Structure 1
Amino acid sequence: MLLKQIQYFLAVAECRHFTRAAERLFVSQSALSQQITKLENDLNIQLINRDTHPIELTPAGEDFRRGAERILADVNQLQENMKQWQEPQKHTIHIGMIMGLGGMPLSDYLAEFNTSYPEARFTLEHHLSKELCKMLLDGQLDFAIFAAPQNIDTYPFEILPIQQEPFLALLPIDHPLAKGRCLDLVSAKDEPFIFPTPENVSYDIFCAACKAAGFKPDVVSYCSGAANRMDLVKAGLGITLISESALHYHKAEGLPVLPLKHPIYKHTVAARLTAAPPSFHKDAFWNHLKQKLGIQ
């Protein structure tokens, strides 16, 4: 019995179809069928009932499948365990993040982790939150730090909350609504708005807030960069909403800033795939991150 035969059998067991299993494994259907037949001959047991459509496993095949899954899981775990003995460049951790993480000192976290695991290496890249979610789903990233979309619960992610910060209203100088202590979005239903582009999680949050206030916003400009939106407000083009951390990086320069009467928030989280395969260094980094964030 060969490991390749176990892998071939499990692919057929999952697909219930020889052709689709062969396509998944990038082998010919004849080669796949020959290996399965050889496995059955070596065991002297029929594992697959080929007369049904889709094909079905025999009772012996079901029993073999359960044992084969355990064997393959053990082999994968063994391979991951051995990675800690490879050369340092093999321990690269890929992290994607949004621009501006507020008060999260990620560079300090990475430096502290390297103190305990000097062989670990990191690659860091910036993208919008929705793109980070997609990259994490596609396996292009090991971890991502982003503003949680409103449907975050539908993603197969393990989530660590990092911070919650309110969005604030930024108004042109001498705007009539700037005289209040806070901004009720209802009172701004006829005002022009400057929103981030739809690729940005904040766009969905702002649209939902306006809908809850009973109106569809009149968006006169779409602009993802917080600094650019602030410039447009300064020019008197309209009102925008901006996070506290963005205000920290980009000064309002005399523009009226008001809290919202009914607050809405940006929830920054760290995430990894729930079904991520075990990895010595990646698991260690995730636990390190949990410890730094005070999460048990």
Structure 2
Amino acid sequence: MLLNQMKYFVAVVEHNSFTEAAAASFISQSAISQQIQSLEEELGVELLHRKHRSFQMTPAGEHFYRQSKLLLADITKLKRETIQIGESKESQLKIGYLRVYGGLELHEAVAVFSERYPEISLSIINGTHEELYHELRQKSVDIVLSDQRRAFSEDYMNVELVRSEMYAELSIRNPLSRQTELTLTELKDIPCILIATKEQQAIEEDYYKHTLGFRGNFLFAESLDEGRLLVAGNRGFLPIESVGTLPQPVGTIRRIPLVKDQAAITRKYCAFWQKKRSNYYIEEFAELLKELLIKE
């Protein structure tokens, strides 16, 4: 069985015409008919039941069509990945993650991946959601771990990793730290501390204020550690999500669940990468990270 025969069969089925399939495949109608006939003779079963100038797929033909589509897609992917690896002097996987993420799963995923695939060089950056989205569009990173803020795009692979609950980290000197849960209304008079670069502060503030409903004033920190120092100094509260294992803060800080209408506020975290640049290693890393997050 030739690979081209599978392609021709799929083309005939999808065009519902030998003539149109032949034109799309850049061969004559008689040639494509002969190829399909030869394929049926080799298999010893009828794939297309011809009736005058029309045809119908037989049950065997339907099965062959579905499996051929999968095999052809796998072959196309294999060719693309092989070319990408062959053209690269060194195979790399560039990973981006949210600056506010403080879990251990990413570290474990990197360690396990590096042990499995020592030939792949890993590089890692962090940033805000918008910074990571920009890097992904510019192809500066291959895959990012980020929160979902947009509708899923058909140009990207959007793999949900985990749904996380939101918390507020507060200094124990703040009276609200004695509560077992908090609403955004109760926090409206306390500055909200966000992790963002100077260039991204306005974007982050707009998202937390108008999309998530946070009120009051905002303070900014460049890193998670810097943000927690502000919390320890009772300068404000830090919104944070329980993505995987989230280590407990120091004793001078309390972490309290955020609720709305008596239900926990949750966010969706995903792995994103461009469909056109998808390959085995990106998919393997995303699956590994998802397994580790689910396990926790």
Q: What TM-score does the superposition give when structure 1 sets the normalisation length?
A: 0.57
Structure with the largest fraction of strand: 2
Identity %: 15
Q: Aligned-pair distance for 1:158? A: 0.4
1:137 equivalent to 2:137? Answer yes
Tell me the distance in 2 between the aligned counterparts of 1:102 and 1:67: 51
Matching residue of 1:193: 192
State whether residues 163 and 267 of structure 1, in contact with CA within 8 Å, keep that contact through their aligned partners in structure 2: yes
SS in 2 for 1:257: strand
Unaligned residue ranges in structure 2 (runs of 5+): 1-20, 27-74
Residue 169 of structure 1 aligns with an amino acid whose one-letter code is A
Matching residue of 1:96: 96
SS in 1 for 2:252: coil
Residue 264 of structure 1 aligns with an amino acid whose one-letter code is I
Matching residue of 2:279: 283
Matching residue of 2:209: 207
State whether residues 205 and 218 of structure 2, in contact with CA within 8 Å, keep that contact through their aligned partners in structure 1: no
Q: Aligned-pair distance for 1:239? A: 2.5
Matching residue of 2:114: 111
Which stretch has the larger CA shift, 118-127 or 183-192? 118-127
Unaligned residue ranges in structure 1 (runs of 5+): 1-62, 69-73, 277-281
Per-residue CA distance 1:241-267 (angstroms, 9 max, x = gap): 223369945723222321112233343
- Relative distance call for 1:187 and 1:287 in structure 2 (3 A) is closer
Residue 250 of structure 2 aligns with an amino acid whose one-letter code is A
Q: Aligned-pair distance for 1:152? A: 4.6
Matching residue of 1:4: none
1:218 equivalent to 2:221? Answer no
Residue 267 of structure 1 aligns with an amino acid whose one-letter code is K
Tell me the distance in 1 between the aligned counterparts of 2:243 and 2:180: 21
State whether residues 91 and 121 of structure 2, in contact with CA within 8 Å, keep that contact through their aligned partners in structure 1: yes
SS in 2 for 1:188: coil
Q: What TM-score does the superposition give when structure 2 sets the normalisation length?
A: 0.57
- Relative distance call for 1:270 and 1:76 in structure 2 (3 A) is closer
State whether residues 163 and 266 of structure 2, in contact with CA within 8 Å, keep that contact through their aligned partners in structure 1: yes
Matching residue of 1:254: 252
- Relative distance call for 1:80 and 1:264 in structure 2 (3 A) is same
Matching residue of 1:81: 82
State whether residues 113 and 285 of structure 1, in contact with CA within 8 Å, keep that contact through their aligned partners in structure 2: no
State whether residues 162 and 269 of structure 1, in contact with CA within 8 Å, keep that contact through their aligned partners in structure 2: yes
SS in 1 for 2:228: helix
SS in 2 for 1:207: helix
Tell me the distance in 1 between the aligned counterparts of 2:123 and 2:241: 27
Question: What is the aligned-residue RMSD (CA, Å)?
Answer: 3.9
Q: Aligned-pair distance for 1:181? A: 1.7
Residue 109 of structure 2 aligns with an amino acid whose one-letter code is L
SS in 1 for 2:259: coil
